[in-house]
Amino acid sequence: MKKIGLFVAVVVAILAFYSTVFAYKNTILVDSKPFYYNVPDVTIKIDGQNFDTGKTPPLILKDSTLIPVRVISENGFGAKVEWDGNTKSVTITKDKTVKLTIGSDIALVDGKEVKLVAPARIIEIGNEGYTYIPFRFLFETFGYKVEWDQKNYQINTTSPPKITNITDFSTSYNSGVFSVNIRADKPIKYNQGMIEEPGNIRIYVDVENAIWSKGKTNININRKNLVNAVIAQNQTQPVPKVRAVIYLTDVVPYNITQSQDNTSLTIYFDVGTSEVTGISFVKEGDYDKVIINCDAEHFNTQKVGDNKIVVDISDAILKMPDGSKAGQITVQGNVITAIRYSQYNNDTVRVVADTTGKADYSVKILDKNIIMLVLKSQSNEMPLIYIDPGHGGSDPGATGVGNIRESDINLAIALKLNNLLTKGGFRTMMSRDSDVFVDLITRSQEANNSGADVFISIHTNAFGTPTPKGTEIWYYPNGYKGDTRDNKTFAQIIHDNLMKEINTVNRGLKEGPNLSVLKNTKMPAILIETAFITNPDDAALLQDDAFQWKVAQGIYNGIVEYFKRLKEGSISTTVSNSVYNTNDANNNR
């Protein structure tokens, strides 16, 4: 009895196996021709779950596995399916548009042709016709990952990952640690890396299947060796990707962590904290010297009216010998009457020098001290012009006709301008006088810290085609975000004088609210695009020494006119109060 029972069990198992594997046997019409179908069942799994195609099973014909378009598109993808009997075509719409024509092995995906391994065809099952196409094309077109299990005659698919929307990109600082923060509405999946070049290090984070809808966003940092952080949509196809990049001048220890739900990502940089341990005063001849004992790497300065010079020391804490968090030193200098200091906020120490009247100053780092030199303004002292030749060193800028480099042209014109200005009695500073890299923040900070009267950045323009040509001048919009400078008047005067000297296409004035050297300077500032390095005619001019001298002469003439009109009182200028908060600078903190 046991043997009979075992035999019956084996027979039942075999019958069950064959009833499963060869379940579908039928005569079907393929392209209106009868075809006896007798092939093992094909099953479909989406994200591990069986997908039932009802009375239209997947079919294997001539080594191609075909699937019914409508039931999978509508029930599997949630797509819209339309049939056009006149053209014998079917259109599937969801995120993208797919059009297939019966009998054709070419499909249109968003208007682009895609070759199919087998043509779309009508297969009649039970007296009804259905459109069938190769399985891999349909699934992969809509972003599904597809695997074919030959052993089990099974199509395994995985849904495309859901798009992550980046909702916030910000920075913060606390107790010597600077953070770059990325937040999203779904868990963040990312890859990271570093690109190292001398003086130009980039740490990047690529967020996969992500969208950043706010366009390219730049955050200035300027702490220790951190320069700025940028986020932008890096690519949209085949899958969207967002890239965040942090620019550094040298390596800073960092790590990356995610929140418990993985919806936020933070890049931590150990920038350390500087200590202000003492402040002293010395009168040296006509100069007043303020010595701030501090190992800081970065500071900002500003004038407030005619009686205050403010130095803000970043990433610093006040550790005075008496333990005070604020204080005042009364002095009898040539122009300084008192020095006030405070822990302005949790990461900034502020030092304020009170003066009897107008004063010129310079601030620099020397032997782990910040040195402020103050001199009573001389009525006959010539203005200080800050000249900024764009790019340089590892950043050559645009490459033009004949492989000429923008950084070389910029420097050649800037040196000629410097020559004219010094011969004219003006005081000058240059961001660079050789082919070296200087980051954007350093350029504007150096001009601010030196008390420069105007800032002129010299560039050449470029475009993807050789057609555009001509000269234009960019300025920070008057009044934008509280800026009090009259940049437009300065730009117009330089423009008019420059165009009298050179015969190029006049492209006029342009507003540049996002240009770093314009928005981070506090004196009237402009950026001159002298000509297009990518246009053959302009490129020839830019390489001509005589033309370079004409550009320099035009700028020089504009500077002379600008300061002449200032002295006459027909125009006026103010230091911007948008770079630093001048209201807070007036109190005792």
Q: Is the CA virtual torsion 531, 537, 541, 542 positive or negative?
A: positive
Determine the Cα–Cα distance for residues 427 and 558; give it in Å rounded to an integer: 16
Is 196 marked active-site? no
Determine the Cα–Cα distance for residues 527 and 555; give it in Å rounded to an integer: 11
Q: How crowded is residue 460: how many other Cβ atoms within 10 Å of its Cβ? A: 28
Determine the Cα–Cα distance for residues 440 and 63; give it in Å rounded to an integer: 62
Strands in 137-225 per DSSP E: 145-149, 154-158, 164-174, 177-184, 190-197, 200-208, 210-211, 217-223
Centroid of chain to Cα 185: 21
Give per-residue burial for 320-341: e unless 16+ CB within 10 Å, then b: beeeeeeeeeebebbbbeebbb
Mapped onto helix, strand or coil, the DSSP state of residue 99 is: strand
Q: Is the CA virtual torsion 398, 400, 404, 406 positive or negative?
A: negative
The torsion region of residue 272 among left (phi > 0), alpha (psi -120 to 50) and beta comes to: left
Mapped onto helix, strand or coil, the DSSP state of residue 310 is: strand
For residue 69, what are the β-bridge partners?
none
Give per-residue burial for 264-293: e unless 16+ CB within 10 Å, then b: bbbbebebbbbbbeebebeeeeebbebebe
Mapped onto helix, strand or coil, the DSSP state of residue 253 is: coil
CA-CA distances (angstroms) from residue 541 to 306, 455, 552?
45, 25, 13
Is the bond leading into 134 cis (omega within 30 degrees of zero)?
no
The torsion region of residue 530 among left (phi > 0), alpha (psi -120 to 50) and beta comes to: alpha
Residue the block writes with tokens 């070389």: 408
Amino acid present at 336: I
Determine the Cα–Cα distance for residues 328 and 325; give it in Å rounded to an integer: 11
Catalytic one among 128, 446, 529, 561?
529
Q: Do the Cβ atoms of 19 and 6 come closer than 8 Å?
A: no
Task: Sort strands 154-158 and 164-174 into parallel, antiparallel or unpaired.
Answer: unpaired
Determine the Cα–Cα distance for residues 525 and 519; give it in Å rounded to an integer: 9
The residues carrying an active-site annotation are 529
